[in-house]
């Protein structure tokens, strides 16, 4: 079911995510391109850039992310996060992850889930990844460059990506990446509209409720050592609280690896 098609969202801002929406035939990285446009001063908040042919996509911690033309959604949105202080930046990450979850859930059902901090999984396989890069001026948060890559029409993945999955594999259908990218923009806009102080706590609680391995013992690796741990909490600043042998580890991004059986 196409959850977002024809559905009306009540928008409160002049600058709406996905307006304008630019289609790039080919680009090395939509995040790189968006950053250049923001730095040029020619961008309004909510501008989105899309391609299904990204030649050098950027993942978290410098990982490269590539696919064949037409197989992916590569979407970047430039957002002025005026609704949040810089100290609350993880709430933006959580809200964008929830928007991506809304999107995948519409197609993949209840087995859609968020892997901390902001990968989108189906069962124990990665369907989408999110990368947010910030543009700061002193202590002022000027822009968030929000990039998402969604595995869309791949029929199979190479052996070195054993835990990847595409919408085609999940649903048995091929999809139009442009249409889906615009639906993602609508999903993000709905979640961004909820970023008000009265909703901060409920956003974080909903984010935690949709986490992969939430309150479930599983295997992790830290500093080369594999151990059993259980996710107990995520703090407002984004730190993961992982219980190990009766003690709680507070972990930042990149400090722990989820061990996922092949």
Question: Tens digit of pLDDT for each residue in 122-132?
Answer: 999 999 999 99
| Residue in the structure block whose two tokens are 């649903």 | 171
Instruction: Assess whether 50 and 100 both reside in one domain.
Output: yes
Write the CA distances from 169 to 53, 65, 71, 173, 184, integer angstroms: 20, 19, 12, 8, 19
Instruction: Assess whether 62 and 181 both reside in one domain.
Output: yes
Instruction: Assess whether 57 and 178 both reside in one domain.
Output: yes
Tokens of 238: 């984004």
CATH number at residue 240: 2.30.30
Residue 190 in any domain: the answer is yes
CA–CA–CA angle 135, 140, 142 (5° rounding): 40
Residue 50 in any domain: the answer is yes
Tokens of 40: 């040029």
Kindly tell me if the per-residue pLDDT of 85 is higher than 80: yes
Taking the C-alpha atoms of residue 110 and residue 112, their distance in angstroms, rounded to an integer, is 5
Kindly tell me if the per-residue pLDDT of 162 is higher than 90: no
Instruction: Assess whether 204 and 225 both reside in one domain.
Output: no
Instruction: Assess whether 199 and 228 both reside in one domain.
Output: no
Taking the C-alpha atoms of residue 11 and residue 252, their distance in angstroms, rounded to an integer, is 34
Contact status, residue 52 vs residue 72, Cβ threshold 8 Å: yes
| Residue in the structure block whose two tokens are 């430039």 | 78
Nearest to 221 by CA among 255, 246, 192, 256: 256
- Confidence band (pLDDT; 50, 70, 90) for 157? very high
Residue 1 in any domain: the answer is no
Q: What is the pLDDT of residues 202-235, one digit of tens each?
A: 999 999 999 999 999 999 999 999 999 999 999 9
The number of domains in the chain is 2
Half-sphere exposure at residue 175, Cβ-oriented, CA atoms within 13 angstroms:
28
Predicted TM-score of the model (pTM): 0.90
Length of the chain: 262
Q: Residue 163 burial by CB count (10 A; 0-12/13-18/19+): exposed, middle or buried?
A: middle
- Confidence band (pLDDT; 50, 70, 90) for 66? low
User: Helix or strand or coil: residue 100?
Assistant: helix
Distance of CA 66 to the CA centre of its chain: 16
Taking the C-alpha atoms of residue 36 and residue 165, their distance in angstroms, rounded to an integer, is 31
Tokens of 153: 């029409």
Domain residues for the domain of 174 are 21-209
């Amino acid at each position: 079911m196409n959850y977002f098609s024809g559905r009306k969202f009540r928008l409160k801002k002049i600058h709406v995510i996905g307006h304008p929406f630019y289609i790039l035939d080919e680009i090395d990285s939509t995040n790189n391109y968006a950053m250049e446009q923001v730095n040029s001063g020619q961008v309004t908040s909510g501008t989105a850039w899309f391609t299904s042919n990204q030649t050098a996509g950027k993942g978290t911690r410098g990982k490269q992310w590539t696919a064949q033309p037409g197989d992916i959604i590569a979407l970047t949105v430039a957002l002025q996060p005026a609704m949040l202080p810089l100290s609350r930046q993880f709430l933006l990450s959580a809200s964008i992850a929830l928007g991506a979850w809304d999107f995948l859930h519409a197609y993949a059902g209840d087995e859609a889930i968020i892997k901390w901090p902001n990968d989108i999984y189906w069962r124990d396989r990665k369907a989408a990844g999110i990368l947010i890069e910030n543009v700061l001026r002193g202590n002022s948060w000027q822009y968030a460059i929000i990039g998402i890559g969604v595995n869309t029409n791949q029929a199979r993945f190479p052996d070195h990506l054993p835990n990847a999955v595409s919408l085609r594999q999940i649903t048995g259908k091929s999809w139009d990446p442009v249409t889906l990218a615009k639906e993602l923009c609508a999903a993000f806009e709905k979640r961004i509209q909820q970023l008000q102080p009265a909703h901060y706590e409920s956003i974080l609680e909903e984010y935690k409720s949709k986490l992969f391995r939430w309150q479930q013992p599983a295997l992790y690796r830290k500093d080369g050592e594999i151990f059993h741990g259980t996710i107990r909490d995520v703090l407002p600043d984004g730190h993961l609280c992982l219980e190990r042998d009766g003690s709680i580890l507070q972990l930042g991004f990149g400090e722990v690896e989820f061990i996922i059986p092949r």
